[in-house]
Amino acid sequence: MDKIDTKRLPQHVAIIMDGNGRWAKARGEERYVGHQEGVVSVRKVVEAASDLGIRYLTMYTFSTENWNRPKEEVDALTTKLLVWSVCGGVTWTRLSWSSVRRASENVLQ
């Protein structure tokens, strides 16, 4: 990261996460392994964005279509999102993550 000109970086970066389950299946693993790796990737991206001074990071990690997945998979995904968002280890001034809010409502029912 030493060679990155931080003055030329955007203030807001948006990322659409997709394909964790397919990634796992292509490697002969269960879908949940892909979701675990997705959490690792999210953490790396959030830490890098923080280190680079990116002010706003939007990560689309859970689409409305995801609610149609099997209940066990939705529960696992939303629990991972909640645990990561609360215990992620990166301090943000403001967290605006509607999927986490919806996930918490789903998990806490």
Distances (CA, A) of 67 to 75, 88, 102: 10, 23, 10
Catalytic-labelled residue, pool 2, 66, 68, 106: 66
Q: Reply yes or no on whether 68 is catalytic.
A: no
* Cβ-contact 67, 77 below 8 angstroms: no
Distance spanning both ends of the chain, measured CA to CA: 43
C-alpha of 54 from chain center: 16
Axis-axis angle for helices 98-108, 71-87 (nearest 10): 120
Cα 7 to Cα 60: distance, rounded to the nearest angstrom: 25
Catalytic-labelled residue, pool 18, 20, 68, 75: 18
Q: Reply yes or no on whether 18 is catalytic.
A: yes
Please identify every residue annotated as catalytic: 18, 66
